[in-house]
């Protein structure tokens, strides 16, 4: 029983070994046939490079990339296949710009088109030093710089880095980290398909943008400084103008108050002047009336004196006539004595009254002259109107009458 199981196991092992040995020559034959097809195609496309081993390896890499992109295997890569390849394999979310760079005006890209485009690329003519710059600047793997320099990989070998080639990456370049190998492959694939990255140009562009940004920033700061300075100067000037306006407004207010006060004083002076003029006119009128009354009194006194004189003359005439009429009649001696005595008494009494009247009249005249002199002074009329001189003169005139 154990022998049967062991025999069966050996038979199965021999079958698998035979199948493996049968398939391996077939696979080697297939790979050899693939290389021969690539060589014949390269000789057909570019006869000058069909004997260059590096060119043959690069062409095989280009064919591998084209096969990877050609999903329907019709020999041409269309726009849809390019879009899918960019999104799935290169993880581009907006592949529109890459479309234009890869296809241009040709919507279908064959292996020959891709090879010719690669030969005209700037990367194809890169030197070893430029490859080192690309490896350190774009791929950011400077630790493999010495390996690239040692085996002297130039730009024409870039397609070999763009495909999975464990012999090149692990054995020759000593890239043991799979993430580094994958990163190198993707960067190389992007460079082969879409041209060199804008490392130097981008650096110059960044420098230019930096300089422009600095200039703009300095200009902005200078403009802000000037604006701030102008604003401060303008604000200071405006504040000074406002202060001057406030002082002018206060001065105007004070002048208005003074003017109003002066107007009020002027009105009060005008009113006082009018009242004083009216008072003076009243006093002048009163003085005129008093003078008129004094004139009338004086005229009346003179008339009274003249009437008294006329009466005396008339009495004398009557007395003379009476004496003449009575000359013929002789009264008794006793009656003559009494009449003589009575006449003398009356004459004496008359003379006394006459003297008193003359003194009163003289005093009245003197008072009138004093009043007249006082009236000619500045405040004479006022004093005359409010003093008792007029009453005294009036009383003297009445007494004289």
CATH 3.50.50.60 fits 46-197, yes or no: no
User: What pLDDT does residue 352 have?
Assistant: 82
User: What pLDDT does residue 383 have?
Assistant: 53
User: What pLDDT does residue 210 have?
Assistant: 87
CA gap 4, 9 in Å, rounded: 9
Whether the pLDDT of residue 337 is over 60: the answer is yes
The segment with the largest mean pLDDT, out of 86-100, 122-136, 235-249, 313-327, is 122-136
Domain 46-197 and domain 292-400, same fold? Reply is no
CA gap 321, 151 in Å, rounded: 197
Which residues lie below 8 Å from residue 155, measured CB to CB, with a gap of 6+?
122, 123, 124, 125, 126, 127, 130, 131
Contact (Cβ atoms closer than 8 angstroms) between residue 164 and residue 185 = yes
User: According to DSSP H, which parts of 195-332 are helical?
Assistant: 199-327
268 pLDDT band (50/70/90 cuts)?
A: confident
Q: What is the pLDDT of residues 227-258, one digit of tens each?
A: 999 888 888 888 988 888 888 888 888 888 88
Class for the domain spanning 292-400? mainly alpha
Contact (Cβ atoms closer than 8 angstroms) between residue 106 and residue 113 = yes
Least confident of 168-182, 240-254, 271-285, 348-362: 348-362
Taking the alpha carbons at both ends of the chain, their separation in whole angstroms is 205
Q: Would you kindly state where each structural domain of the chain is located, as residue ranges?
A: 46-197, 292-400
Q: How many residues does the chain have?
A: 401
121: left (phi over 0), alpha (psi -120 to 50) or beta: beta
Specify the pTM.
Answer: 0.42
Whether the pLDDT of residue 372 is over 80: the answer is no
Contact (Cβ atoms closer than 8 angstroms) between residue 65 and residue 52 = no
């Amino acid at each position: 029983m154990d022998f049967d199981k062991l025999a069966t196991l050996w038979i199965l092992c021999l079958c698998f070994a035979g199948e493996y040995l049968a398939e391996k020559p077939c696979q080697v034959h297939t790979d050899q046939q693939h290389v021969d097809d690539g060589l014949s195609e390269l000789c057909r496309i570019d006869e000058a490079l069909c004997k260059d081993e590096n060119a043959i390896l690069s062409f095989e890499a280009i064919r591998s990339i084209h096969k990877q992109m050609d999903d329907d295997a019709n020999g041409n890569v269309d726009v849809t296949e390019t879009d899918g390849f960019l999104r799935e394999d290169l993880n581009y979310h907006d592949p529109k710009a890459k479309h234009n760079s890869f296809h241009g005006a040709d919507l279908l890209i064959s292996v020959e088109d891709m090879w010719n485009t690669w030969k005209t690329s700037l990367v194809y003519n890169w030197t070893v030093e430029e490859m080192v710059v690309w490896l350190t600047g774009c791929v950011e793997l400077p630790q493999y710089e010495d390996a690239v320099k040692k085996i002297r990989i130039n730009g024409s070998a870039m397609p070999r880095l763009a495909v999975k080639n464990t012999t090149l990456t692990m054995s020759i370049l000593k890239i043991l980290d799979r993430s580094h190998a994958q990163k190198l492959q993707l960067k190389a694939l992007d460079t082969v398909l879409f041209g060199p990255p804008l490392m130097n140009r981008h650096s110059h562009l960044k420098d230019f943008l930096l300089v422009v940004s600095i200039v703009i920033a300095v200009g902005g700061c200078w403009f802000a400084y000037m604006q701030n300075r102008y604003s401060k100067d303008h604000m200071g000037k405006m504040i000074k103008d406002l202060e001057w306006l406030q002082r002018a407004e206060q001065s105007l207010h004070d002048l208005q108050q003074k003017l109003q006060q002066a107007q009020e004083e002027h009105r009060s002076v005008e009113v006082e002047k009018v009242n004083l003029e009216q008072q003076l006119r009243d006093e002048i009128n009163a003085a005129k009336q008093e003078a008129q009354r004094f004139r009338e009194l004086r005229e009346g006194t003179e008339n009274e004196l003249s009437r008294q004189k006329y009466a005396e003359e008339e009495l004398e005439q009557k007395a003379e006539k009476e004496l003449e009429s009575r000359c013929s009649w002789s009264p008794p001696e006793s009656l003559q004595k009494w009449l003589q005595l009575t006449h003398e008494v009356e004459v004496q009494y008359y003379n006394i009254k006459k003297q008193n009247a003359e003194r009163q009249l003289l005093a009245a005249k003197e008072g009138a002259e004093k009043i007249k002199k006082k009236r000619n002074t500045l405040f004479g009329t006022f004093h005359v109107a409010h003093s008792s001189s007029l009453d005294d003169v009036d009383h003297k005139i009445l007494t004289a009458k």
